[in-house]
């Protein structure tokens, strides 16, 4: 029987979970649910990371690396009006294009 790389990787993740939680027991739907949740969280993290990179690139957010809290983001006070314009674009008040300064 030939398994795809995806199947093998999912099998590894599942067995890793059961090895870390040897008393765990679940049915197909339960396992699929927590697997889907993990995938959703992973995808969300990637999407948020890309969105943060865009906002930093547009200079709407400041990015700062800290020794204790890791990378932190905050509103760039010098770009408040540009931030409002960016939000308005998503409300149908703009042409949907992102302008960089």
Query: Averaged in consecutive runs of 10 residues, what is the pLDDT profile of the chain (101 residues)?
Result: 80 88 91 86 92 97 94 96 92 56 51
Q: How many domains does the chain have?
A: 2
How big is the chain by its Cα radius of gyration, in Å?
21
Q: Are residues 7 and 50 in the same domain?
A: yes
What span, in angstroms and rounded, lies between the C-alpha atoms of 85 and 88? 5
| Residue 93 domain boundaries | 59-101
State pTM to two decimals.
0.63
Q: Are residues 38 and 8 in the same domain?
A: yes
In 6-25, which positions are buried (b, 16+ CB within 10 angstroms) versus exposed (e)?
Answer: eeeebeeeeeeeeeeeeeee
Q: Are 65 and 71 in contact (CB under 8 A)?
A: yes
- Report the residue count for the chain: 101
């Amino acid at each position: 029987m030939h398994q795809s790389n995806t199947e093998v990787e999912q099998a590894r993740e599942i067995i890793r979970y059961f090895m870390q939680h040897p008393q765990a027991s679940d049915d197909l739907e339960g396992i699929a649910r927590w697997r889907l949740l993990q995938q959703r969280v992973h995808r969300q993290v990637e999407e948020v990371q890309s969105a943060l990179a865009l906002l930093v690139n547009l200079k709407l957010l400041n990015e700062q690396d800290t020794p204790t809290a890791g990378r932190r983001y905050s509103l760039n006070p010098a770009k408040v009006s540009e931030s409002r314009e960016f939000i308005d674009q998503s409300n149908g008040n703009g042409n949907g294009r992102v302008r960089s300064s």
